[in-house]
Structure 1
Amino acid sequence: MINIVVVSHSALLAKGVEELARQMMRGDGCKLALAAGVDDVEHPIGTDAIKVMEAIESVSDCTAIVVLMDLGSALLSAETALELLDPEIAARVTLCSAPLVEGTLAALVAANSGGSLEQVLAEAQGALQAKQAQLGEMIPGQKPLNLPLKKGKSLSWKVQNPHGLHARPAARLAETLALFDAELVLEKNGQCANPRSLNQLALLQVHRGDTIRLIADGVQADEALAAFKALAEHHFGEIVSESQQPSLHGIPVEESISSGPILQVARFWPQIVERRVGPDDVLNEQQRLRVALQHTLNDLNKLAERTGALIGKPQAAIFGAHCMLLDDPDLQHAAYTRIAQYQCNAEQAWQKELELIAADYRAMDDEYMRARELDVRDILRRSLSHLQQQPIPPILITAPSILILEELMPSEVVMLDRRMVLGICLSGGSALSHTAILAKTMGIPMVVGMSGCMTKTHTGQKAMLDAARGVLQLSH
């Protein structure tokens, strides 16, 4: 494995490069680490050799590390970091002079595809070739690919992608074909390219309506052609011709593209039986509520610990806030008073008090604060489940799937197995809810407000989720 480190004067610039890179990467064949900016609130622009060293160490579980930098002093910081590193790690580090944005993307695709260090460096260094060719500039040292067109088997495809084989679908093609033991060449109108190279694919300048032909020869030629055909039929991972296939639309949260089977998840809410209680039962109902709230508080503390360990302390604070709301003496006193005054059971009293709080949030002008009503209902559901002794069923996922739900609670998101979730579509929800914020932090493609997603899909149905556009395309 070859990992990549980006060194930049600007944390925002580095984050932008990372966001682009995540759009290109599939699988876990390469790790990316950032060393950007300095810890100075008033003057955040700069580079720090210690940060560079720590970034390199964080991805040192590999055979080689390629470091890309933006400006001259970033190189100085990287060179200083090499002197600070353990010699064994430093010996595996290569500083690369390629352009930061284009070079990082090209290097990541090559590394994620299992390319050698030489191939990764060559892709990074040649990352400007497509731009130079499009602008009519001379490309120093460019050599045409010379593979015999008459050799091997071939398969042709007319590209239907609206923007042709731009960076993202080209990256999918390069990574897919990297797996096969075969000699491969992609041809368009007599011009040839290595389909395992993002740069070579860009030089072909494949537009919508162009016909491309993959020629394969070798041990796994048939497998390579079959993989090419399957990827092409899915338009290299992009949504195409929405008028020909049914699709649903919503609001993007975490932007990515994924495809796989749908798994519909039914919404669970504890069944509440309303009943009046006698004067002698008031203390018993108050005690029932007191015990249920303590169990709920224990649950929330465990969720905060899990979130802090798996995602981060800022995200764990979400459940810390839940604990503060639940443990509010005034709120609890109001519920106990309601039980005594109206002689209702604990469930009715507690539900009424929390519904009043949720309604207050929904009435707020600020959209971010309105989204907090979901947190209140998350707490309510959990405490009612303890009162009713109806455990909240976990979301069981037996194979990687796109989850379709009416709504998803923040406490449910952090319990998901990220490896099994290809994406999430909610018929309701808000892009500013803590559910959306947690999903985004976990890197889960997500779309909210997708009206009809529960009624127009079914479990097992194949679909492609383009979370960048908020579109779920369904197979027939």
Structure 2
Amino acid sequence: MAAVGIVIVSHSRQLAEGVRELAVQMVQGKVFLAVAAGIDDPKNPLGTDAIQVYEAIASIYNDQGVLVLMDLGSALMSAEMALEFLSQEQREKVHLCEAPLVEGAIAAAVAAASGCNIQQVMAQARGALVAKATQLGVNVSHILGESTEVSTSSFVVEGQITKQIRLTVRNPLGLHARPAAKFVATAARFQSQIKVQNITKGTEAVRADSINQVSILGVRQGHELLITATGSDADEALAALQTLVENNFGEEDATLAPLTTSPANHIVSSVDDFIQGIPASNGVAIAPVFLYHPTPILIQQYHVENREEEWQRLQVAVQAAHEEIQAIFSQASIQIGDAEAAIFDAHLLFLEDPVVLEAVQQRIFEQHLNAEAAWQAVVNELANDYRRIEDSYLQERVADIVDVGQRVLRLLSRFESHLRNSEDKLTHLNLSEPVILIATDISPSDAARLDPTKILGICTTSGSAISHSAIIARRLGIPAIFGLPPEIMQVANNTIVALDGEIGRVWIEPEPDIQTALETKRNLQELAHQQAITTAANPAVTRDKTREIKVYANIGGISDTEEGLSLGAEGVGLFRTEFLYLERTTPPTEEEQIAVYQRIAQLLDHRPLIIRTLDVGGDKPIPYLDLPQESNPFLGWRGIRFCLDHPDILKTQLRAILKASLGHQIKIMFPMIATVQEIQAAKAILAQVRAELRQAGVLFDEKMEVGIMVEIPSAVILAEQLAAEVDFFSIGTNDLSQYVMAADRTHPLVASLVDAMHPAVLRMIQQTVQAAHKAGLWVGLCGELAANPLAAPILLGLGLDEVSLNPQGIPAFKQAIAQLTMAESEAIAASAMQQNSATDVREVVSAFLNRQLNNH
């Protein structure tokens, strides 16, 4: 039976679509919702149109009736006029409702999805503010009028019983940022109202879909949670949360071991003349100082009359911030690894936190505050809440809140556009020589994008060894000392400073003996590091000397190339060119791309450089390319699909690659190929570009190899036909795994299925290798699977010719290959193919390696 339909009438199209999206998320398509909003006038798009309202009603009209919700002013008039176009019979089933637009739409949608009649749906919409008022301690009668009788249970939906479970948190750091983000994301996927409280600490129950309320519970290892769920899918919700908690939120038993977190004595020794801080990242650095003083964002508070417009302005800034953080997350996944990049999951959830957004909305609509002032007030309150918690780990989350808060403020005040070409922005510093950065603080998003070749060390007056910035600094290998006394900010620019991150000491203009001792320590550390990677400089040859596998690096830019070469990379197997398109407002020009490609090719000195053409979409949004908001972006308009629809962007990149190719071993690789027709279309554009360059007398490598990424199951099935079109295959196991297992790798409830060690994925790799070799093609693998030493014998045994991985994983992979014979690897691979799960595969490999270790 059809449900009651709902029409949302608003002056703002974007606002109405946003409300509709919220409601749709609550009811998962069970209710028809239509929008009638805005007018067709580019200069003044705000307004309402009676014909639009009529068409919206007609589009979802059914015998159960239609509820029409309106924002204000002419929206009511347009809705009333729209009724005149309906027949008398239809008019009797269409009801105009004065309920609040956002809360009313959500409440009405949930009621309609539950099978309520039009009167019940209307009652729920009208009572939508009761829950919020109760939570805020507001007298409901002040909202609905003294004589209004409020009913919070005007209908009973079958199955709306409260269920509860008790769970003990076992992972080492409890509900820190990444587990909290997974917990909130899981809870938010269910329609039931879910609450959680920390029984151990005796807290009140809070909303499970609020990242900040969950974080403030202060849940640590060993704490017991009480989780309640009220709704039709309560059992499923509790089961999902129980699985998440019992699986330790997908974390290993041990996390990144933080350095000492005890507060250091801020003293200056009269003997050694050093300043003591908190050790945050090991290593020695000696370099001139660069003092970083970010320009503060000054906001004004003022009264606004058009509250809808102000709220819309805030929503636009939040969406832009979401896109920026998503871009940082994608880049950080490559630069510092997926585990540490997951820090930015919490940043994204902060922007989506309904408690935060509702608090900002309240200030705008009830206090008539401008968006900047309302946002800043809520962020400040939340930061202060964290500061008051008697938990040093949670207190460190203030930096994340401030980081996200400042990002939205910059966008609201158009501050970001001013900084894009300014040296004031930390990640755009034009440094003539490497420096030690001294600042009051460094945000996680800035830390994630620091260049270790330019920033040799970090000193701050705030922070600790367990802050996210410290974790990122350690991952980047940048020595860091946090919590230094304020006097450090008085050091003049270009003063020589030395720091020892292991013991947390800083020397200003160190005496010769101190500098010599630190240089000796640094040299010994570098020597130990070089000895550890000595074998990485050698080819990856099996113990029986019968087989060699090429080991390349995955890179996102020039610094990655340098790091890869220092760690034994024999070439670049994947240049992710999308990072040339980030942090910009327009695509890179042909000349800019040529310069980067040539510089990397020169560094490689005739080693292979495989350049993947632009791969955007999915988890790699680039705002100025106007990628649409998609409900399932991993299955959407991404990779080669986007580029074939934008041949101008693809042709510019292909021209740059071809022009940079002469005298180098550059290869082109097209991503996300699903059909033979796609690679043929891409090759046709490449042929056109080649012809144009020949006609213009531009020389390029006429024998350049062309390959494809094999990351879609259809490409595996069509491997023999695709092999006739290209010179090589490169298997992308990150995407292939999620497509084979039909599981979104960003979805917390199913991400565990996305495991490249699963026999189903391994068989896809085997099938691809066999088809390639049958056609005389070489085949590589450039997914994260190659970075897993346990996978080394399987990949070797399956016959791969090349692997490409993040630079840090190269020494371990080469070392693993050197300990294997080809016969052992083939036996392990054959056994892995016969297992039933990824766990079984790992056990097979681990058992072999343990026997090997015991035998030696």
Output the TM-score relative to the length of structure 1: 0.47
Output the TM-score relative to the length of structure 2: 0.27
Higher relative contact order (CA 8 A, sep 6+): 1
